[in-house]
């Protein structure tokens, strides 16, 4: 499993991560980021891409 954490103090809810892994990251009705703390290993590349495109570098992938 891929472990995902988002530093919500850094996150500005731009949603760029949603374009890379929309099954893991999404913006709720209020425009706030919601994410899964774990994803299947097969999603690692997309989750890492999501972390890379985050303008605030708020996403950590383990």
Span 2-61: which CATH code?
A: 3.30.70.20
For the chain, list residues with pLDDT below 70. Answer: none
Give me the pLDDT at residue 25, please: 98
Contact by Cβ (8 Å): 35, 20: no
Question: pLDDT tens-digit profile of 36-47?
Answer: 999 999 999 999
Rounded to a whole number, what is the largest CA-CA distance in the chain? Answer: 30
Contact by Cβ (8 Å): 56, 10: yes
């Amino acid at each position: 499993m891929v472990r995902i954490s988002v530093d919500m103090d850094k996150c500005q809810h731009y949603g760029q991560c949603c374009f890379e892994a929309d099954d893991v990251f999404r913006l709720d009705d209020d425009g706030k980021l919601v994410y899964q703390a774990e994803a299947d290993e097969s999603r690692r590349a997309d989750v890492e891409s999501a972390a890379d495109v985050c303008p605030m570098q708020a996403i950590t992938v383990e």
